[in-house]
Amino acid sequence: MSYDAFAITFSNSRKNLYWPELKYIIRDIMQYTSGSILDIGCGNGRFLEQAEISQLQFGEYLGIDSSEGMIGEARGLHPENQFEVIGMQDIRTIDGSFDSLLFLASFHHLETQAERIQILQDSKNLLSSVGRIYMTNWNLRDQVKYNKSHRGNGDYDIKIGVYSRYYHGFTLDELSELFTETGYQIIENRVFDGGRNFLSVLETLK
């Protein structure tokens, strides 16, 4: 299920949303990478809202999403930045390298292990020599309210209004194994404050 059917409603629900993980990630970008940013599964460009509040200085920004509706919202909200309709599975078609790759509540929509491995491998080709990946995933298994949406093996169908969307509920060990298997150095991989999300920060092995 694409976000196209409810892009405007979903976009409105994300405006002015307090997201401490973003503030933490932006502080890390300021300290370690700055430079260019590739926002994978950018939605309505919600990262840029917090970046502006935090006065983050960066070079090139490219936001990509598989949903034309969400990209339309992003272009309307942030016309000075570049957005393209590109799905995660197609990031290998992107030219250039970036200092920060963002997967903010997007990686957990991938339905198969093969897709997850492939995208992590493709991401290495997009990282600069000093680049970092910043990833958040919902900590679904520790939130009782999602139990009724669990269909087994960490797979969830979660309703947004009248529509359902697939999510994978990772464990920290599962993420760690994925990152190690695909050749990353794990800088951080933990439950973020408050318990709602996992935060992962990665670099390629030097």
Q: What is the pLDDT of residues 49-95, one digit of tens each?
A: 999 999 999 999 999 999 999 999 999 999 999 999 999 999 999 99
d(CA 64, CA 43): 8
DSSP string, 12-25: HHHTT---HHHHHH
CA 92 to CA 37: how far, in whole Å?
16
pLDDT in tens, 131-143: 999 999 999 999 9
Q: Is the pLDDT of residue 17 over 60?
A: no
Q: Which two structure tokens, joined as six digits, stand for 86? A: 């590109």
Q: Band the pLDDT of 16: cuts 50, 70, 90.
A: low
Residue 7 Ramachandran class (φ > 0 left, ψ -120 to 50 alpha, else beta): alpha
- DSSP, res 105: S
| CB hemisphere CA count around 13 (13 angstroms) | 10
Question: Residue 20: what residue type?
Answer: P
Supply the angle between the helices 20-32 and 46-53 in degrees, to the nearest 10: 70
- At 7 the pLDDT is 43
Phi-psi map region of 181: left, alpha, beta (phi>0 left; psi -120 to 50 alpha): alpha
> Which residue has better confidence, 13 or 39?
39
pLDDT digits (tens, 9 = 90+) for 2-14: 555 544 444 444 4
Q: Which domains does the chain have, with CATH numbers?
A: 3-204 (3.40.50.150)
Mean pLDDT for the stretch of residues 149-157: 96
Residue 181 DSSP symbol = H
Over residues 179-187, mean pLDDT = 98
